[in-house]
Chain A
Amino acid sequence: QLQLQESGPGLVKSSETLSLTCTVSGGSMSHSQYYWGWIRQPPGKGLEWIGSIYYAGRTYYNPSLKSRVTISVDTSKNQFSLRLTSVTAADTAIYYCAKSDSAYIYDNWGQGTLVTVSS
């Protein structure tokens, strides 16, 4: 059973770059034809899809964030990562990493990590 765990700074200054890593355990990313995604949730609000990466490296981003987002994968470490540049208070959220068999159906999630953007 795959398990996902987010890690990274819980506090980022406004205008700087948010960087998070998702470590996958219980299976090899390099042998799995899955999509690996990031979804976020501002405190007390709904879910927003950020983007995803196919195991072979193709990326898909939410157009609303596309200019600021990069998702990458390191199969040797069984990790995938999120970079979000030029953050503002509006980027304060719980960030989840998740796995999908078929692009957008996320059947396995990390526990989430709260990232607060401070001024």
Chain B
Amino acid sequence: DIQLTQSPSFLSASEGDRVTITCRASQGISSYLAWYQQKPRKAPRLLIYGASTLQSGVPSRFSGSGSGTEFTLTISSLQPEDFATYYCQHLNTYPPTFGQGTRLEIK
């Protein structure tokens, strides 16, 4: 199975900050990567797929980039509703796996 490693695992930031989360794959996955946001006691929400395509309805402050083995999710200016846990997921091969998550908290 392809392993995804997210860094950092925990991130403390302030409203208005620009933050970046990294996801590294154990082997090349082209652009077959998605990002999800999960708030406590809620189901995950798809933010980005194809490494950089914004899902409909997702604010433009979210962006994704990368290909191969290294990917990033960037939030350009943190809003209060962005404090959550973020997961990457590869879509390249079966089975799809998720990263371990990055918890983004208010500083």
Flag whether A49 is at the interface (Cβ < 8 A). yes
Interface size bracket, B side:
20 to 34
Partner of A109, one of B44, B89, B101: B44
| Known contacts A46-B87, A46-B101, A47-B44; A107/B96 CB under 8 A | no
Interface of A is mostly: loop
For B54, list chain A residues within 8 Å (CB).
none
Question: Which of B42, B43, B99 is most buried by chain A, counting CB atoms within 10 A of its CB?
Answer: B43
A17 to chain B, nearest CB (A): 22
Chain B residues closer than 8 Å to A62, beta-carbon distance? 95
Kindly state the separation between the CA atoms of A105 and B98 in the bound complex, as whole angstroms: 12
User: Contact check: which of B46, B87, B91, B98 meets A107 at CB < 8 Å?
Assistant: B46
User: Is A10 interfacial (CB 8 A cutoff)?
Assistant: no
- Once the chains are docked, how many angstroms separate the CA of A104 from the CA of B89? 9
